[in-house]
Amino acid sequence: MDFEDLFTDDIPTELASDSTQEKDVALALLLRLYAGNTQNQKYFSLLRRNLQEYLPEIISRDALKDERERTLVEAFRTLSAKFVEQAQLPQLKNKCLVGVGGRFSAGKSHFLNTLTGRLHLPTGQRPTTAVATYLVGQEHPSIAAYTANETRVPLEPEELQSIAHVFYKNYGLGFSDILKKIVIGLPDFPWPGIALLDTPGYNNDDEENRGDRLFDEKIAREHLSNCDYIIWLATADNGSLGQSDIAFLNSLHLAHPCLVVLNKADGKTEGDLRSIITTFKDQLDNAGIAYCGVTAFSSTLNTEYLGATLLSDFIAQACNDQQARQDMKQELLNLQTEWQQMNQQKRDALSQTNAPIRRGIVKSESPQYIRSLVEAYSLNHTLIADLTRQSKAFNLQIDKLLNHE
């Protein structure tokens, strides 16, 4: 099969036939995916454990009411997640990540195929994308799967097709527990500065497969939260944004630019589209969701409607976003400097209050007052010691991340 024009809406007949041979192919693929890289496994599980355990160690007692500290903790959390992602998938290094999210069958994979001008991603009428998949520019074409065993496994295009939901509906074989993400490297990818991410539909209204649905939602949320830009793909045929879309968008706590694209706009009149766009904007405003525009598009016809160029402008903005493409190492070092400054200022402020307390203890004649001053003095000391310990723990975490590179 040719890499370029492999994927169609339908399951290829050779995969659809319930032959033992096809099952063998799928099993062989599963076996390859289950093979682990022990060294990597140890390294990443240690890194992950450290990252999970570091937070209580570095957060100070007043973190909840300290806006600056909260922002820094959040920035560190996002940055370290991105750092791990890039260590696992070096092709994403210094790329601005543009994620596409939306309900199942909104046309996310079709939309990305249209944007990149090729049929790289499997599409279909039933839930199709099972694993978060990045598309990225690369000198030679390649597909790599990253497994739960921290191993990169090269895939053939046929194997990528077989990983689609449709396949395991037919064969009862699931990949999404062992496969964490897929990266497709493309020599003719039009934008060297970005990586595009296709996610599984976050809702599959199929009650029978509720487990799959929640799992897909988790995968979509995890990956979209790591993105620098988000394209939310809704469909024009629904006329309005569903409550579950609103709830999901709210749960992303969007801090990054988000463009809402009404896909499948083909067949709608201009009047219809204008009124649907107004309805969407009203709904987003009422829900307090930050977005930078709503535009109508057809992935089938590769057309943005109403003379708008919001989509191409959005992609161009992502390509030019130097901040999002900044070297992770530098970003971590900047964050470390900011953190240490904050920590030092807190320690200085506490030390400054120590001198008057000491003077009060010496001068006061009331034993009760002296006792309360001594308590305040010792609390100050504990807080300063905590801050010193947190500062050391934070530096240690940064060292661990940087030395793991």
Ligand X SMILES: Nc1nc2c(ncn2[C@@H]2O[C@H](COP(=O)(O)OP(=O)(O)OP(=O)(O)O)[C@@H](O)[C@H]2O)c(=O)[nH]1
Q: Note the residues at the interface with ligand X (CB under 6 A).
A: 9, 102, 104-110, 123-125, 127-129, 200-201, 263-264, 266, 298-300
Please name the helix (run of DSSP H) or strand (run of DSSP E) that holds residue 303, with its range, or none.
strand 303-304
CB of 118 to ligand X, least distance (A): 14
- Looking at 14-22, 49-57, 101-109, 224-232, which segment touches Mg ion (CB under 5 A)? 101-109
Residue facing Mg ion at closest CB distance = 129
CB of 296 to ligand X, least distance (A): 10
> Of the candidates 199, 192, 255, which has an alpha carbon nearest to the alpha carbon of residue 229?
255
Nearer to ligand X, 263 or 336 (CB): 263
- C-alpha 280/C-alpha 87 separation (Å) is 38
- C-alpha 404/C-alpha 402 separation (Å) is 5
CB of 168 to Mg ion, least distance (A): 14
- Looking at 104-112, 286-294, 344-352, 377-385, which segment touches Mg ion (CB under 5 A)? 104-112
CB of 270 to ligand X, least distance (A): 16
Cβ neighbours of residue 24 closer than 8 Å, sequence gap 6 or more: none
Among positions 117-156, residues that touch Mg ion (CB under 5 A) are 128-129
- Partner whose footprint covers residue 124, from Mg ion, ligand X, none (CB < 5 to 8 Å by kind): ligand X
CB of 126 to ligand X, least distance (A): 7
| Segments in 90-146 forming alpha helices (H) | 108-116
Q: Do the beta carbons of residue 221 and residue 260 sit within 8 Å?
A: no
- Partner whose footprint covers residue 295, from ligand X, Mg ion, none (CB < 5 to 8 Å by kind): none
Nearer to Mg ion, 129 or 336 (CB): 129
Nearer to Mg ion, 76 or 111 (CB): 111
The bridge status of strand 152-154 relative to strand 142-147 is antiparallel
Number of Cβ atoms within 10 Å of the Cβ of 241: 23
Cβ neighbours of residue 38 closer than 8 Å, sequence gap 6 or more: none
- Partner whose footprint covers residue 157, from ligand X, Mg ion, none (CB < 5 to 8 Å by kind): none
**Residue 109 touching Mg ion (CB under 5 A):** yes
Nearer to ligand X, 311 or 401 (CB): 311
Nearer to Mg ion, 82 or 180 (CB): 180
Please name the helix (run of DSSP H) or strand (run of DSSP E) that holds residue 370, with its range, or none.
helix 367-404
Nearer to ligand X, 101 or 193 (CB): 101
Please name the helix (run of DSSP H) or strand (run of DSSP E) that holds residue 40, with its range, or none.
helix 38-58
Nearer to ligand X, 106 or 398 (CB): 106
Q: Do the beta carbons of residue 231 and residue 261 sit within 8 Å?
A: yes
- Partner whose footprint covers residue 87, from Mg ion, ligand X, none (CB < 5 to 8 Å by kind): none
CB of 210 to Mg ion, least distance (A): 19
CB of 208 to ligand X, least distance (A): 16
Q: What is the CA 80 to chain-centroid distance, rounded?
A: 12
- Partner whose footprint covers residue 225, from ligand X, Mg ion, none (CB < 5 to 8 Å by kind): none
CB of 121 to ligand X, least distance (A): 7
Nearer to ligand X, 193 or 201 (CB): 201
Nearer to Mg ion, 76 or 232 (CB): 232
- C-alpha 135/C-alpha 91 separation (Å) is 10
Cβ neighbours of residue 177 closer than 8 Å, sequence gap 6 or more: 148
What pairs with residue 303 in β-bridges?
298
- C-alpha 90/C-alpha 85 separation (Å) is 8
Copy the structure tokens of residue 249. 């968008």
For 145, phi then psi, to 5°, come to -105, 140
Binding footprint of Mg ion on the chain (CB under 5 A): 108-109, 128-129
